[in-house]
A = this chain, B = another copy of it.
Amino acid sequence: MSDPLHAYIVSQGEELLTGQTLDSNSHFLCGQLTDLGLRVRGAITAGDRVEAIASALRLAADEAAVVVCTGGLGPTSDDLTADAAGLAFDLPIVLHDEALTQIETRYRDAGRPMPESNRRQAMLPKGCTVLENPVGTAPGFAVTTPGGRLYCLPGVPFEMKRMWTQQVATDLAARFSISPPERRLFRVLGKGESQLQDLLGDLPTLHPGIELGFRARMPENQVKLVAPQGHPGMDEAAALVRARLGRDLFAEDEGLELAGAIGQLLLDRGERVAFAESCTGGWVSHLCVSEPGSSRWLERSWVTYSNQAKQDELGVRAETLQAHGAVSEETAVEMARGAREAAGVDWAVAITGIAGPTGGSPDRPVGTVVFSIVGPEVEHTRRLRLPSSGRTPTRRFSSFIALDMLRRQLLRAGAAQG
């Protein structure tokens, strides 16, 4: 097996070094480069000084053929990446008409005049390839370095990701001989990393040459199989993983989220869902509407945050609220029944809980969340006490748990019919 192509990451931005911004770009790029079969040798972060950025770029280019740099392409005086690349590789900085046209077009399309300061974004190293930014004003660029190639992308994550996927990954594949290993991804809910290790730890012994990896993405866990392209045991190993994971496996595709998996199950059954959200406050619906085409299976939802709203919108009885409280099995099931009837749908899911930091009591502490799913011949209600890790994690976990409970009920309903 030949030595893999080396890569190095450079992140630029004083805000990364002051701790204001978490550098998620490097994490993304490390994963992407690794998936392409490159070995990332290191990553370096430089602040807003042109010499520091230039020396980071030189160090990176000494260590690896492929250097990917993010940040510092904006229009302000602390955006110095182009200048630094020029300094590092002895390239004059010149106005690129192509880049200027792209920036002007972005402003024209938005119906706004281009501020004079944005001209700066078209000042790029001579001889570079301009990388179009389809979702922002900062163009990127690529230059050939003495030992390979340097790609500079904007620091805004969604702009960077779009340009990585559409332009850099393809340019890399075209220029360098890359043979990405084969990867299989299994996305899991309901099992922790040590449980997965116990369940699947014997796999590399059963299938030599296949690497097993785990990644925690709370509350999701991921299992990965990696082997050289065309490994004869890959399909069999994947079948083994699938069989052992059972219904804890919700997707085998990075692009299929939990809500998307639910959408597919609902579309297959010709059914629709509605949500009645209290503590999740719209997060469950938001995850569903993130999926293109969700209007075919999400009919409507309510954020019934007040008791009055629970009564008005979902027909929860005042006596139920009074006798059992808003965070109770009795209220949750009435919320779900009411949502199902009002929306005229097959399935309804209700979530009511205490996200904190206040509102807890000895018998219903912060983190208590009640879920209810009502569907064709199904009423499933469950109270959980989530670890008290803060309002946002509690609401996020609750949202994923609600969706995962619905997914399992849909699978159960399908199995009962099949």
- Is B304 within 8 A of A300, CB to CB? yes
Interface presence of A318 (CB below 8 A): no
Expressed in whole angstroms, the Cα–Cα distance for A351 and B39 within the complex equals 46
Interface presence of A170 (CB below 8 A): no
- Least CB distance from A359 to B in Å reads 9
Expressed in whole angstroms, the Cα–Cα distance for A58 and B308 within the complex equals 61
Interface presence of A96 (CB below 8 A): no
Selecting from A19-27, A80-88, A122-130, A237-245, the interface stretch reads: A19-27
Interface presence of A294 (CB below 8 A): yes
Contacting residues, chain B, for A28 (C-beta < 8 A) = 19
Selecting from A142-150, A263-271, A389-397, the interface stretch reads: A389-397
Selecting from A171-179, A192-200, A372-380, A409-417, the interface stretch reads: A192-200
- Least CB distance from A132 to B in Å reads 13
Query: In chain B, what residue has the closest Cβ to A154?
Result: B216
- Is A282 within 8 A of B292, CB to CB? no
**Which A299-343 residues sit within 8 Å CB-CB of chain B?**
299-306, 308-309, 312-313, 342-343
- Is A42 within 8 A of B46, CB to CB? yes
- Is A43 within 8 A of B45, CB to CB? yes
- Is A391 within 8 A of B302, CB to CB? no
- Is A395 within 8 A of B135, CB to CB? no
Q: Known: A110-B387, A135-B387. Is A282-B303 also a contact (CB below 8 A)? A: yes
- Least CB distance from A71 to B in Å reads 10
Proximity bits, A282-293, B CB within 8 Å = 1, else 0: 111110111011
Expressed in whole angstroms, the Cα–Cα distance for A291 and B106 within the complex equals 35
Interface presence of A368 (CB below 8 A): no
- Least CB distance from A242 to B in Å reads 20
- Is A118 within 8 A of B299, CB to CB? no
Interface presence of A156 (CB below 8 A): yes
Considering only CB atoms and an 8 Å cut-off, how many residues of chain A contact the other chain? 111
Q: Known: A18-B30, A284-B282. Is A393-B42 also a contact (CB below 8 A)? A: no
- Is A17 within 8 A of B44, CB to CB? no
Interface presence of A139 (CB below 8 A): no
Among the listed B30, B52, B194, B342, which residue makes an inter-chain contact with A17, where contact means beta carbons less than 8 Å apart?
A: B30
Contacting residues, chain B, for A74 (C-beta < 8 A) = 193-194, 214, 216
Secondary structure at the A interface, as helix, strand, loop or mixed, is: mixed
Expressed in whole angstroms, the Cα–Cα distance for A29 and B110 within the complex equals 40
Expressed in whole angstroms, the Cα–Cα distance for A299 and B303 within the complex equals 9
**Which A82-108 residues sit within 8 Å CB-CB of chain B?**
106
Proximity bits, A258-279, B CB within 8 Å = 1, else 0: 0000000000000000010101
Q: Known: A284-B282, A302-B302, A303-B282. Is A393-B158 also a contact (CB below 8 A)? A: yes
- Is A76 within 8 A of B193, CB to CB? yes
22 contacts between A and B (CB under 8 A): A17-B40, A18-B34, A19-B34, A22-B22, A41-B47, A42-B46, A75-B193, A75-B194, A134-B389, A135-B387, A156-B216, A158-B393, A280-B286, A281-B289, A289-B395, A290-B392, A295-B306, A300-B305, A300-B309, A301-B302, A301-B303, A302-B302
Chain A: residues with CB nearer than 8 A to chain B? 14-24, 26-35, 39-48, 52, 56, 59, 74-78, 106, 109-111, 115-118, 134-136, 155-156, 158, 162, 192-195, 197-198, 201, 213-216, 218, 275, 277, 279-286, 288-290, 292-295, 298-306, 308-309, 312-313, 342-344, 355-358, 385, 387, 389-393, 395
Additional 7 contacts, C-beta under 8 A, given A158-B389, A299-B305, A302-B303: A17-B41, A21-B215, A23-B26, A41-B52, A76-B214, A135-B390, A155-B216
